[in-house]
Structure 1
Amino acid sequence: MRTTDVRLSLATQSARPDRPNEDFIGAASDVVVLLDGAGTPAGLKTGCSHGVAWYARTLGSTLLSAVTQSAGTLTEILAESIKNVASLHDFTCDLVHAGSPSATVTMLRRTDDVLEWLVLADSAVVLDTGTAEPTVICDDRVSRIGARYRALMDGLPGGSPEHAKAFRGYVETLRDHRNRDGGFWVASVDPLAAEQALTGTVPVDQVRAAALLSDGASRLVDRFALASWRQLLDLLGQDGPDELIRRVREAEYSDPDGSRWPRGKVHDDATAALWKFL
């Protein structure tokens, strides 16, 4: 087994200081876990008294504990963790409600000389394998489904009452496609969602670094087009995750009404981690 030194840097920031951060980032020896809770617009019910931030933190910490203690596959660990978290509030909350709290999941685990990855929904894992273009793993089913319904929302000024109403309608419509065939899959109350995650492995000696990104951090590339994936990795490596988030915020503040970059949320929770293999 090749001995590999690693260095991990991470940062997370809520979209607004008056709202809880609905992302989760955690790490242990040879494991990194990132979740992005699916925020619920004001006025929409979820059937849950705990909220999205609670769900992301609880599932994230459950996953982190489980993945450090189990030799099972990442898919198996995710399924069992979803089941366990559901059991924590199935007697107090309406888990069949279409708006039950949910989250994207990304995980990395190093086992011997292999790096394993799992991606469920639209957070991203980016692998720097030394080639000109990094390997980007992101489940794009959410964005492909969403593209059918976002025209009205995108045509309205961000931050306006009309945009907020259209955003609520957009989220309600997406709920009808969540965790069902032909739609998209996220972690919520159904353990079977774990089987829909993208998974794979790569030899550790082929990886220089690996990044995990919530979509609030990756929007510098995939929504704003202000950097390539290679440039994002270089930025993380040279200046760290805090600088990535700072540049995302700078772009957001430069376009407060979404006229340049139409989006559901003017600001989003942003989380990034970089795992360097030295």
Structure 2
Amino acid sequence: MRMLIASEPGRPDRDNEDFAAAAPGLLLVVDGAGSPAGVESGCVHSVAWYARNLGGLLLAAATDKRHGLDEALAVSIERVNAMHAATCDLRHPGSPSATVALARVHDERLEHLVLSDSVLVLDRPDQGPAVITDGRLAEVVARLDEPDRPSPGDSDEHARFLRSRVEQLASFRNQPGGFWVASTKPEAASEALTGSTPLMGLGAVALLSDGASRLVDRFGLMTWPDLLAILGKDGPDELIARTREAESTDPDGARWPRGKASDDATAVYWAVQG
């Protein structure tokens, strides 16, 4: 089983808040939800700390095939809670959080779990790709969006906008009618999108943080088959390089409005039939 992984921070002077890992029959991407400076979290730990610890624990929990992927995620959230409950306010609405994409081979099928806006793409040569992502965060953002939002430059105005947006989103996070992420509530795992696909007829699978999927779903510069072709031919590093090239042509977000000019980008790729 040959798997390819690449991950790169959005800026070289900031921690990478994504986490990716693979084990035999298991692929994982965790995308930590970073917050702008000045937003309180009630936690002494960084988002990168949360993503790494959740990812490591989830990788271990998901190897036990007696339990579903949602159960593995719930247990992992509980275990991270135990690691910092004594030092941090886990009731704080700004506690570190992350999105998750997870895939596991079991009984000749590929099981999957996706929570929030990470993306899982199934390459099905006979049918076209199946794209699995949780759109509830995007729906909340669309309700909150303002037509005159500032560009993602380093301006004070944009920084104020981001702080306000994060504070607004906190009231919708892990709430009915809002959106769900991995944070301090194990019950969020039951809100994840789950399913399974026969390995027979599956060409490849890709797991992407939203920073690595934006050439398709935000910039519209390629299709999902195009993205899979890049991953299959040149690997995840090439996908991220092309993403950075596109971002550099629009540093102020005039063409593609977005919160971050360059986001952490992570891709895991497995050619099932390769």
1:108 to 103, 111, 114: 103
Distance in 2, matches of 1:205 and 1:97, equals 45
Q: Which amino acid aligns with 2:224?
A: W
Cα deviation digits, residues 70-122 of structure 1 (max 9, x gap) = 42000111111101110110110011111000000111000131110000000
Distance in 2, matches of 1:152 and 1:89, equals 39
Question: Counterpart in 2 of 1:71?
Answer: 66
Q: Which amino acid aligns with 2:69?
A: L
Contact 1:20 1:53 in 2 (8 A): yes
Distance in 2, matches of 1:75 and 1:156, equals 37
1:151 is paired with a residue whose SS is coil
Contact 1:24 1:34 in 2 (8 A): yes
Distance in 1, matches of 2:35 and 2:152, equals 19
Contact 1:132 1:230 in 2 (8 A): no
Q: Aligned in 2, Cα 1:257/1:7: closer, same or farther, shift over 3 Å?
A: same
Instruction: Give % identity.
Output: 55
1:171 to 166, 177, 180: 166
Q: CA deviation at 1:18?
A: 1.2
Cα deviation digits, residues 144-181 of structure 1 (max 9, x gap) = 10012232564445332211211111111111100000
Question: Counterpart in 2 of 1:93?
Answer: 88
Q: Which amino acid aligns with 1:73?
A: G
Q: CA deviation at 1:133?
A: 2.8
Question: Counterpart in 1 of 2:2?
Answer: 7
Q: Which amino acid aligns with 1:209?
A: A
| Pairs within 5 Å for 1:74-223 | 74-131=69-126, 133-151=128-146, 154-156=149-151, 158-223=153-218
Q: Aligned in 2, Cα 1:161/1:199: closer, same or farther, shift over 3 Å?
A: same
1:269 to 259, 264, 269: 264
Distance in 2, matches of 1:154 and 1:240, equals 35
| CA RMSD, 1 decimal | 1.2
| Pairs within 5 Å for 1:4-83 | 6-83=1-78
Contact 2:101 2:113 in 1 (8 A): yes
Distance in 2, matches of 1:71 and 1:191, equals 19
Contact 1:153 1:166 in 2 (8 A): no
Contact 1:158 1:264 in 2 (8 A): no
Number of aligned residue pairs: 273
2:181 is paired with a residue whose SS is coil
Distance in 2, matches of 1:49 and 1:157, equals 27
2:246 to 248, 251, 257: 251
Runs of at least 5 residues in structure 1 that lack an aligned partner in the other structure: 1-5
Q: CA deviation at 1:131?
A: 3.4
Q: Which amino acid aligns with 2:120?
A: V
Q: Which amino acid aligns with 1:225?
A: G
Cα deviation digits, residues 13-42 of structure 1 (max 9, x gap) = 001111110000011110011100000111
Contact 1:114 1:203 in 2 (8 A): yes
Contact 2:78 2:184 in 1 (8 A): yes
Q: Which amino acid aligns with 1:167?
A: L
